[in-house]
Structure 1
Amino acid sequence: MSAISFDRVTTEFGAVRALDEVSLEVPRGEVAVLLGLSGSGKSTLLRHVDGLQRPGSGSVRVLGSDVGALKGAELRALRRKVGFVFQQFHLIGSLTVLENVCTGALGALRGPRLSLLGYPKRVRHAALDQLARVGLADQALQRADTLSGGQQQRVAVARALLQKPEVLLADEPVASLDPDSAAQVMDLIAEIGREDGLTVLCSLHQVDFALNWGHRIIGLRTGQVVLDTPAERLTRDAAMAIYSRTSTPLAAVG
């Protein structure tokens, strides 16, 4: 069974067609990378996976559930299985690193948490374990806004992992990082994905990262899938063609 399935999904924002008859399958355990120009539909596609966006037509199934049909508790239950790492980290700078990671457990807890001690001990211990995995256990009590960009993104990865997700989404996770920090974050996501058997769907602009890191490359242009191939069969020049602003179809690769 596929972890993620899009069946002829079309989504419009006013006169703009963000996704246009998109169909694709992401098997469990696969690392799939979305490439395409800004505005090609990558972020919109990711937002459909955890129900942040609903399709205008067609269907999205994630871990066996029809996302568009889920509401309330059922939708929240699915979202606990889907971790999300964003380009801008979305950390609370005035809180400690550890408390930011603990917020990844809020979907499974009742009521607000007013401080770090408001989280159950088991959650705090699990958060420390995830910080150790991303190499930041020694920064646990430091304010999040004192960390470098690469460190903040590793905190965001630890927060997503605290959910114990089956699917990990990443929307341009290294776009705001320097090359060295970007490589560290991408290597970390790849390593954890392998260790935990996660299904990973990640949007990138960095073609070299995509080819070296992904199992499969999905190219989007104006909301349409124009390329879908194993990364090992794709040359750098062919991958770069995804960024052409012409409407010339790309050659399909098996």
Structure 2
Amino acid sequence: MMIKDQGRPVIEFERVGKRFGETVALDDVTFSVEPGTVVVLLGLSGSGKSTLLRQVNGLQQPTTGTVRVLGEEVSITRGRSLRALRRQIGFVFQNFHLVGPSTVLENVCTGLLGSLFGPRLGLAMYPRSVRRQALEQLDRVGLADRAFQRADTLSGGQQQRVAIARALVQRPKILLADEPVASLDPESSAQVMELIREIGAEDDLTVLCSLHQVELALDFADRIVGLRSGAVVLDRAAVGLSREQAMEIYGSVGAQPETAAEPARPVRVGQPALAG
């Protein structure tokens, strides 16, 4: 499946609401993400960041509004079409979700299970081409020498690198990352975010990442979308945004979204301008 219109955003939220019973998780969320940019969702735990990410690949459905990804309306996409869409969306989780006793290489190979038929029990059950692709991605994240090591013997930062390689092996157009450094120390956090940004630039990936660390968001994002109680309270380019302005996300209950006076300018040269 190809992007239907190269000129349109790759992710679009239009007045999206999500409720769990009486709890409002997303409240009238409207924003879009341009191709090849790094957008960080910033906000407190419980602000709706994870819920928003799960709307993108159809893990959850909106209660109201519309989510479009690569030109497809996610909530009405089913069966083979939904599986094809999900193969273009990599997901990196906070807690890695690796199979500890399995080798690093086998964990990365599982990223291609969606394109294979039948179960795979053990590394030898994967085609040679899949193992080669997995090893290539491990090399990109600096862990090719750990390919046959048990995943649960790695450090937290190394395990997250394996999780990134697993997401990348499917050659996605979009990379979602849900608090990918929440359980890491500051040095490892910076290394993982730098890796995500570098690979995003190399592969022309669109990255949508949730964080709660303001400094990391300002360092690595092209654009910041701030969430508070499920609503967007800030949406603007990271360039020129101060830490103090970003911190207002955490205390601006009921505030209207702040937008840049001019179209937001992404950090990387050659990418399309972002809407403020």
Q: Same fold (TM over 0.5)?
A: yes
Alignment pair present for 1:47 and 2:54: yes
- Indicate which of 167, 172, 184 corresponds to 1:160: 167
Alignment pair present for 1:67 and 2:67: no
Secondary structure class of the residue paired with 1:173? coil
AA at the equivalent of 1:166:
K
Q: Once the 2 structures are TM-superposed, how far is the Cα of residue 233 of structure 1 from its aligned partner?
A: 2.6
Structure-to-structure mapping, 1:82-121, within 5 angstroms: 82-121=89-128
Alignment pair present for 1:22 and 2:29: yes
- Quote the Cα distance in structure 1 between the aligned partners of 2:255 and 2:168: 40
- Quote the Cα distance in structure 2 between the aligned partners of 1:107 and 1:206: 33
Secondary structure class of the residue paired with 2:209? strand
Q: Which stretch shifts more, 243-252 or 85-94?
A: 243-252
Answer whether contact 1:11 1:20 (CA < 8 A) is retained. Answer: yes
1:142-175 deviation per Cα after TM superposition (whole angstroms, max 9, x unaligned): 0000000000000000000001000000000000
- Indicate which of 188, 197, 206 corresponds to 2:213: 206
- Quote the Cα distance in structure 1 between the aligned partners of 2:194 and 2:57: 24
CA 1:75–1:250 in structure 2 vs 1: closer, same or farther (change >3 Å)?
closer
AA at the equivalent of 1:58:
G
Secondary structure class of the residue paired with 2:149? coil
Structure-to-structure mapping, 1:7-18, within 5 angstroms: 7-18=14-25
- Quote the Cα distance in structure 2 between the aligned partners of 1:83 and 1:68: 18
- Quote the Cα distance in structure 2 between the aligned partners of 1:30 and 1:98: 29
AA at the equivalent of 1:28:
P
Answer whether contact 2:16 2:28 (CA < 8 A) is retained. Answer: yes
Secondary structure class of the residue paired with 1:174? coil
AA at the equivalent of 2:172:
P
Give the alignment's TM-score, normalised by structure 2.
0.90
Answer whether contact 2:179 2:210 (CA < 8 A) is retained. Answer: yes
CA RMSD of aligned residues (A): 1.0
Provide the aligned length of Structure 1 versus Structure 2. 254
Q: Once the 2 structures are TM-superposed, how far is the Cα of residue 247 of structure 1 from its aligned partner?
A: 3.8
Q: Once the 2 structures are TM-superposed, how far is the Cα of residue 245 of structure 1 from its aligned partner?
A: 6.4
List structure 1 runs of 4+ shifted beyond 6 angstroms.
none
Secondary structure class of the residue paired with 2:145? helix
- 2:195 is matched with 188
Instruction: Write 1 or 2 for the structure with the bigger share of helix.
Output: 1
Alignment pair present for 1:139 and 2:139: no
Answer whether contact 2:232 2:257 (CA < 8 A) is retained. Answer: no
Q: Once the 2 structures are TM-superposed, how far is the Cα of residue 57 of structure 1 from its aligned partner?
A: 1.1
CA 1:81–1:248 in structure 2 vs 1: closer, same or farther (change >3 Å)?
closer
Answer whether contact 2:233 2:254 (CA < 8 A) is retained. Answer: no
Q: For structure 2, which runs of at least 5 residues remain unmatched after alignment?
A: 1-7, 262-276
- Indicate which of 10, 32, 57 corresponds to 2:64: 57
Q: For structure 1, which runs of at least 5 residues remain unmatched after alignment?
A: none
Alignment pair present for 1:224 and 2:222: no
